[in-house]
């Protein structure tokens, strides 16, 4: 099969030769990060340059939505949509930690985002795409009314402008503070994607760590192409819930991307460094390469099966360290 | 966040909801093992029921059952969650919590109904989708998602009725119809009050407080415009099961007549109109603000 | 739920009170039959009257195609189609037992049938239906060119006349003497049933003992309603083949109708005595009750789940005694 | 039992089949582990291959693989059986014998191709569907049947090529296309010669005799009109793999061009024409007699 080609860009993955020893341990925490999988101490700026992928064990650290956008979109191509759509508090919800509306304001200040979903248009290797990205730092990327509304608008616009949709999905579950409004966003988003499909426009879903509850139980797992990042935890019910309900020990690797691949739920597990090229190749397959650009990836991609046989490092995920909420 | 234009007005239903029960009282009523369940509705309201079983790839899930039936002179596809009334039945039916096979069967029956232009009636009554290890292995999330994707585009009229506990994604999976009716003492929630209390109050004993705060009663959801009709229960359903069942049957029949009056499976424009209305119904649910205005 | 009603007819099942003791063992074999499941000695004519269902253990003996037709169709309603379509020997096939064309002639004489599939129209409780029935006594109901041709004609006629199709499927596998022509009948029959489906006419498939190979691997398992008789053995690969290849002991009840129901492959297991009413009820659901006939089964059918809980006798099939060929 | 009217005539292919090998010789060639297999064809003939995996309900079957690819400037859906060239690979790919998950994946990819109007290319190379216990549990027969039912109605052009061993139902499952091409030394049979000998001769050692009698070679099937084109192999494929692969590519391209020239996915009449021709192609296969005339 053909060579799997490397991307030139801000986040170009390090080659093995660039690895550093883990001996300098006296440096301040904000400069050094310990890899939760292999224990390696990594220099923050170098980790950033490597798209927050551990150069030693390939562990994929979580990215913020903005980091994800800058990783995937061509420079300065991202145009945000509907950033002024903000959450409301229709139930006047007050829980043990206080009122929901105060929680929103605090979270908005802390994160600098108005909500947990960012939508817009972008180009990937020159191809126009609607890009929808979850922000896990905003209340655990819980899906509430704003998520549904912004998603529906973005997908409707994709239909109007005949663009493909890329969703980057992380979620801790439903936004319980919005009660049944929150659950109904599963219906609202699936309706939007049904319409996208009727218009024969492709939806690419990228599942990243962690992705639980109503997001994978609605639009995020019925995309035309299902991709996951190595080691990402993905499922319906959260691991703590399952352990409590079943009183069974969870099998090793349970709910990892590798587990989902084995069980037939996703098409490929793709290293962060190869995502852009995979997406732009997919767009060309479904919509044709844009005039003048030609086929970007002239040398082709290797089959995922082949790839795994070579890149053995992602075949053996360590014990899952991330715990998440989820829907029961 | 407005009501469906076609919704039958409350006056037509005759009775006014009477109760002043707390949300948690209603949760208890909704979960009462003597409360009429899906098979009771099918048994009383339908004849010629032919159960259709199996997902055609792994198993048959008795927690979500369905089949062909004659309802008030019409052949329909009927399906719903079904728990048990004793321990043996509950184990067989997994306490009414569907596994992936259940959702895949539901999806199959929806496609089947579409092929033969049979209207679909669903009865919602589950604490939620099964949260077990093997359900995750066989793709619980994917199974629910595919069921939703099928349902939203199914080209026949669909009427859904919440008759007991409407629990989260497992309930939603068979709720994406053209009408969502709900019994007065049924509840419909994104998570159980117990789970919500444990997560947001860090104290499962605050379930009653959570139940109140979550706005899970039929009256709340009617006010929010999420359901299309609240069906009054002058006395709790398990105290007058036949009366309740026939009242529900009458309301379903009224909505079904209305939907079928304008529906012709061979008329593409009519089918598209049905799907467009269904789209709008869900498209507008939500509460958000934007540049000072409320959504 | 409602009462499950009894059919009045030639094959009315015996009530339990009619059972006889097994003590009279000295009578000639053609008058007495030993039940392979429970060992009971049964009086032949009584077994016939009970639709060849053992009154003691409910074991369903095999029926010939003509017996099946007389069980299911209203008296004298069956009109046979295409009975003159006969097998050819396109390969000039000669095996260890001699030439295929001689085998055909011998089998035709022995069975009185021209081939292993009988097609025609009939009425069931007054409802018109296209009826297609396999004859296991004719070379093990192997599927060859005649099967495909007669099936295609019958289904095309169902489309023209807008009639439902009931197939009664038994098969030992492909008619190997016809080489690839035989395999291609899977394609030919599936194409016919695809056309039936495009015309939104229902196909009811009844699987009876034994049903293996290309028949269940083509049209017989993708019917709109899948029904099996209790205890029938149904599968892709034959049991001997599986044992030889895997060198594993087959699990108890493997490939029985009950096994298929548990694994989600069929809608219902139905006792022979209830088949007519189930089929006529189904026809009414899909095509409406014929004018003037009204709904036949005013009292409705019980759900299969309910039924099984009552009729426990079919829940515990004994060890499978039938061996069959099959496709590997 | 006539040839498809559209079939390209033999002259156009240039070379004449040369060999005088026995049927069993060809069985051995067809099974040669060095013979080019599906991934070799994809690798040489396509670029931008993106493998799509999984059946979305139970697993991913590496014995039947597929995905998107660019073939001679066109995006297509490509799929085929894939065994291994060593023991480890053979175990991983179950010796190229698909389990139900493989057929369910193939069906999923066919639907996918239909949604996006991508032509389908299939490569047939399997000794048959897996005959294991767990495959039966998960409905091997049903999985094959559903794949066939999908394929016969798929609304895009489909070209199938038998490149090695075409074994029974497992081969047929991805062979219901608008064209069936076959390499000269490939075989296509309703059962393996060994199985046929064991059943009809009661003697597995009669496999060579059975192979001859069963008429399983490309030349036989070309004569019967079951295949649309025999692709000559001047030398056995494993001795000239690139030449063979590119010859196959040229023949596929010729047929694909022909099919696509008259195919417009948005033209219902054209799509129906495609499906009608596909129907007729299989409708007429068979050998029977009736009232003195041969069918
Ligand atoms: Zn690491
Ligand atoms: Zn007996």
Beta strands A41-43 and A32-34, pairing class? antiparallel
pLDDT tens digits for chain B (295 residues)? Answer: 333 444 444 444 444 444 589 999 999 999 999 999 999 999 999 999 999 999 999 999 999 999 999 999 999 999 999 999 899 999 999 999 999 999 999 999 999 999 999 999 999 999 999 999 999 999 999 999 999 999 999 999 999 999 999 999 999 999 999 999 999 999 999 999 999 999 999 988 899 999 999 999 999 999 999 999 999 999 999 999 999 999 999 999 999 999 999 888 888 999 999 999 999 999 999 999 997 554 4
Which ligand has the shortest distance to the CA of A231? Answer: 1
pLDDT reported for residue C303: 39
Are the C-beta atoms of residues C228 and C261 closer than 8 Å to each other?
Answer: yes
B191 alpha carbon – ligand 1 mean position (Å): 36
Residue with tokens 């036989």: D220
Taking the Cβ of residue B15 and every Cβ of chain D, the question of whether any pair is shorter than 8 Å is answered with no
- Domain A63-301 in CATH 3.90.226.10? The answer is yes
pLDDT computed for residue C322 by the predictor: 31
d(CA A319, CA A256): 10
Quick check: A296 and A280 in contact, CB under 8 A? yes
| Residues within 8 A of B (CB atoms), C 261-320 only | 261-268, 278, 281-282, 284-286, 288, 295, 297-306
Whether the pLDDT of residue C301 is over 80: the answer is no
Interface contact C224-B112, CB threshold 8 A: yes
Spatial CB neighbours of D229, under 8 Å, sequence gap ≥ 6: D7, D8, D10, D13, D179, D181, D182, D222, D251, D255
Of the candidates B49, B60, B68, the beta carbon closest to that of C264 is on: B60
Interface-testing mutation among D57, D111, D143, D144, with chain B (most B C-beta atoms within 10 A): D57
Q: What residue has token string 């005539």?
A: D9
Into how many domains does chain D fold?
1
Looking at CA atoms only, how far is residue B50 from chain A in angstroms?
30
Task: Say if D and B touch: at least 3 Cβ pairs within 8 Å.
Answer: yes
Look at residue A30 in the predicted model and tell me its pLDDT: 73
Lowest mean pLDDT among A123-137, A160-174, D194-208: D194-208
Q: Is D117 on the interface with A (CB under 8 A)?
A: yes
> Could you tell me the two tokens for D36?
């080019």
Over residues A187-199, the pLDDT tens digits come to 999 999 999 999 9
How many Å apart are CA D262 and CA B22, to the nearest integer? 68
3 state SS of B294: strand
ipTM metric: 0.90
Asked if D145 contacts C220 with a C-beta cutoff of 8 angstroms, the reply is yes
Q: Residue A142 to residues A169, B85, B194, C100: CA-CA distances in angstroms?
A: 11, 35, 19, 70
What does DSSP say about strands B158-167 and B187-189: parallel, antiparallel, or unpaired? parallel
Closest CA to A214 of A194, A192, A193, A236: A236
- The verdict on a CB contact (< 8 Å) between A285 and D54 is no
Q: Is the pLDDT of residue A222 over 90?
A: yes
Note whether D39 contacts A202, CB cutoff 8 Å.
no
Least Cα separation, residue C67 to chain D (angstroms): 25
Residue D289 lies in a domain: no
What would the two tokens of residue C230 be? 């209790």
What's the token pair of residue C216? 């269940």
Distance of CA D280 to the CA centre of its chain: 19
Residue B101 lies in a domain: yes
Inform me whether the pLDDT recorded for A17 exceeds 90. no
pLDDT at A288: 87
Answer whether residue B202 is part of any domain: yes
Is the pLDDT score of D199 beyond 60?
yes
Stretch 250-279 of chain B: residues touching chain A, C-beta under 8 Å: 278-279
Min Cα–Cα distance to chain D from A287, Å: 9
Contact A119, A158 (CB under 8 A): no
Q: Residues D102-161: pLDDT tens digits?
A: 999 999 999 999 999 999 999 999 999 999 999 999 999 999 999 999 999 999 999 999
Angstroms from C198 CA to nearest CA on chain D: 9
Question: Is B104 at the interface with chain D, CB within 8 A?
Answer: yes
Residue/partner pairs of B246-250 with CB below 8 Å, 24 or more apart: B246/B44, B246/B45, B248/B41, B248/B45, B248/B161, B248/B163, B248/B181, B248/B183, B249/B41, B249/B44, B249/B45, B249/B71, B249/B72
Burial C292-314 (b: 16+ CB within 10 A, else e): eeebbbeebbbbbbbbbeeeebb
Q: Is C210 on the interface with D (CB under 8 A)?
A: no
Task: Report yes or no: B175 at the A interface, CB cutoff 8 Å.
Answer: yes
**Average pLDDT value over all residues in chain C:** 84
Contact D74, D119 (CB under 8 A): yes
Contacts of residue B200 in chain A, CB cutoff 8 Å? 95-97, 176-177
Contact flag D131-C254 (C-beta cutoff 8 Å): no
Encode pLDDT of D240-266 as tens digits: 999 999 999 999 999 999 999 988 888
- Asked if residue C25 has pLDDT above 70, the reply is no
CATH number of the domain that residue D113 is part of: 3.90.226.10
Q: At which residue do the structure tokens 């003992």 appear? A: C209
Nearest CA in chain D to A297: D48
The verdict on a CB contact (< 8 Å) between B55 and C264 is yes
Could B47 and C300 be called an inter-chain contact, meaning their C-beta atoms sit closer than 8 Å? yes
Of B191, B221, B224, the CB nearest to A174: B191
Chain B hits for D56, Cβ within 8 Å: 139, 142, 146
Pairwise CA distance, residues D50 & D31, whole Å? 27
How far is the C-alpha of D185 from the C-alpha of C231, rounded, in Å? 44
Beta bridge partners of C203: C165
Whether a cis peptide bond, with omega within 30° of 0, leads into B137 is no
What whole-number distance in Å separates Cα of residue C307 and Cα of residue C274? 12
Q: How far apart are CA A130 and CA A283, in angstroms?
A: 11
Residue A158 near residue A164 (C-beta atoms within 8 A):
yes
- A61 C-alpha vs ligand 1 centroid, how far in Å? 9
Identify the domain containing residue B178 by its residue range: 10-279
User: Before D38, cis peptide (omega within 30)?
Assistant: no
Gap from A89 CA to chain B (nearest CA, Å): 8
Residue B166 distance to chain C (closest CA, Å)? 24
* Smallest-distance ligand from the CA of C314: 2
Instruction: Give the number of other CB atoms < 10 A from CB of residue D258.
Output: 17
**Could you tell me the CA-to-CA distances from B160 to A195, B10, B110, B150, C160 in Å, in that order?**
22, 18, 13, 15, 37
Note whether residue B294 is domain-resident: no
Q: What is the pLDDT of residues C218-245, one digit of tens each?
A: 999 999 999 999 999 999 999 999 999 9
How far off is chain D from C84, nearest CA to CA, in Å? 6
Cα–Cα distance for residue pair B51/C123, rounded to 1 Å: 23
pLDDT given for residue A179 in this prediction: 96
Instruction: Quote the DSSP letter at residue B201.
Output: I
Measured in Å, residue C58 CA sits from the centre of ligand 2 at 6
Write the burial class of residue A321 (CB in 10 Å: 0-12 exposed, 13-18 middle, 19+ buried).
exposed
Residue B116 is inside which H or E element, if any? none
Residue A321 has pLDDT above 50, yes or no: no
Residue in A85, A90, A325 nearest the CB of B199: A325
Top residue of A84, A89, A95 to mutate, by most chain B CBs within 10 Å, is A95
Are the C-beta atoms of C324 and C238 separated by less than 8 Å? yes
Task: State how far the alpha carbon of B142 is from the alpha carbons of A236, D26, D195, in Å.
Answer: 9, 45, 40
Residue contact B53–C302, C-beta within 8 A: no
Where are the domain boundaries for CATH 3.90.226.10 in chain A? 63-301
Helix (H) or strand (E) holding D110: helix D100-115
Yes or no, beta carbons of B47 and C2 under 8 Å apart = yes
CB-side neighbour CA atoms (13 Å) of C263? 24
Place of tokens 């004849």: B47
> What spacing in Å lies between the alpha carbon of A316 and ligand 1's midpoint?
12
- Rounded CA-CA distance D189/D214 in Å is 8
**Confidence at residue C234, expressed as pLDDT on a 0 to 100 scale:** 98
Contact list in A for residue D46 (CB cut-off 8 A) is 300
Question: Is the CB of residue C250 less than 8 Å away from at least one CB of chain B?
Answer: no
Task: State how far residue C291 is from chain B, nearest Cα, in angstroms.
Answer: 14
Q: Which long-range contacts (CB under 8 A, 24 or more apart) does B198-205 make?
A: B199/A176, B199/A325, B200/A95, B200/A96, B200/A97, B200/A176, B200/A177, B201/A95, B201/A96, B202/A96, B203/A96
Confidence band (pLDDT; 50, 70, 90) for A290?
Answer: low
């Amino acid at each position: 099969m053909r060579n799997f080609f490397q991307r030139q860009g801000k986040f170009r993955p390090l080659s093995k030769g660039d690895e550093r020893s883990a001996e300098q341990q006296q440096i301040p925490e904000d400069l050094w990060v310990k890899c939760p999988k292999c224990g390696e101490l990594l220099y923050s700026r170098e980790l950033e340059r490597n798209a927050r992928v551990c150069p030693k064990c390939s562990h994929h650290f979580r990215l913020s939505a903005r980091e994800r956008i800058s990783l995937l979109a061509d420079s300065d191509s991202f145009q945000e949509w509907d950033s002024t759509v903000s959450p409301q508090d229709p139930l006047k919800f007050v829980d043990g930690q206080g009122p929901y509306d105060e929680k929103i304001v605090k979270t908005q200040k802390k994160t600098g985002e108005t909500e947990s979903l960012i939508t817009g248009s972008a180009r990937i290797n020159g191809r126009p795409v609607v890009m929808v990205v979850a922000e896990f730092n905003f209340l655990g990327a819980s899906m509430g009314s704003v998520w549904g509304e912004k998603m529906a608008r973005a997908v409707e616009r994709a239909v109007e402008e005949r663009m493909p949709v890329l969703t980057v999905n992380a979620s801790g579950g439903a936004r319980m503070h919005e009660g049944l409004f929150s659950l109904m966003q599963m219906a609202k988003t699936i309706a939007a994607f049904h319409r996208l499909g009727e218009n024969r426009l492709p939806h690419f879903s990228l599942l990243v760590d962690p992705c639980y509850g109503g997001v994978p139980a609605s639009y995020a797992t019925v995309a035309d192409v299902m991709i996951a990042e190595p080691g990402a935890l993905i499922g319906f019910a959260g691991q703590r819930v399952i352990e409590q309900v079943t009183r069974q020990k969870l099998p090793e690797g349970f709910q990892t991307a590798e587990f989902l691949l084995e069980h037939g739920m996703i098409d490929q597990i793709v290293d962060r460094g190869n995502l852009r090229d995979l997406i732009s190749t997919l767009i060309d397959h479904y919509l044709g390469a844009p005039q003048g650009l030609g086929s970007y990836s002239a040398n082709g991609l290797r089959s995922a099966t082949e790839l795994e046989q070579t890149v053995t490092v992602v075949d053996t995920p360590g014990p899952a360290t991330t715990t998440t909420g989820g829907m029961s | 966040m407005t009501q469906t234009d076609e919704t039958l007005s409350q006056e037509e239903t005759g009775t006014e909801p009477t109760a002043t029960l707390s949300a948690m009282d209603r949760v208890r009523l909704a979960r009462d093992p003597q409360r009429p369940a899906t098979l009771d509705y099918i048994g009383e309201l339908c004849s010629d029921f032919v159960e259709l079983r199996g997902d055609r790839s792994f198993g048959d899930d008795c927690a979500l059952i369905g089949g062909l039936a004659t309802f008030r002179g019409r052949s329909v596809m009927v399906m719903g969650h079904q728990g048990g009334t004793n321990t043996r039945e509950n184990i067989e039916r997994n306490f009414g919590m569907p596994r992936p096979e259940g959702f895949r069967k539901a999806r199959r029956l929806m496609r089947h109904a579409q092929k033969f232009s049979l209207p679909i009636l669903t009865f919602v009554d589950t604490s939620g989708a099964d949260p077990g290890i093997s359900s995750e292995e066989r793709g619980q999330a994917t199974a629910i998602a595919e069921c939703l994707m099928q349902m939203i585009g199914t080209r026949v009229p669909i009427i859904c009725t919440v008759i007991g506990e409407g629990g989260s994604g497992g309930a939603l999976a068979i709720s994406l119809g053209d009408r969502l009716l709900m019994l007065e003492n049924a509840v419909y929630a994104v998570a159980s009050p117990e789970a919500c209390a444990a997560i947001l109050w860090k104290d499962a004993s605050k379930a009653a407080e959570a139940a109140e705060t979550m706005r899970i009663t039929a009256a709340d959801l009617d006010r929010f415009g999420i359901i299309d009709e609240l069906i009054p229960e002058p006395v709790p359903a398990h105290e007058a099961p036949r009366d309740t069942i026939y009242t529900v049957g009458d309301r379903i029949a009224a909505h079904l007549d209305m939907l079928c009056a304008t529906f012709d499976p061979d008329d593409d424009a009519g089918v598209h109109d049905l799907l467009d209305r269904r789209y709008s119904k869900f498209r507008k649910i939500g509460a958000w603000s934007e540049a000072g205005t409320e959504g």
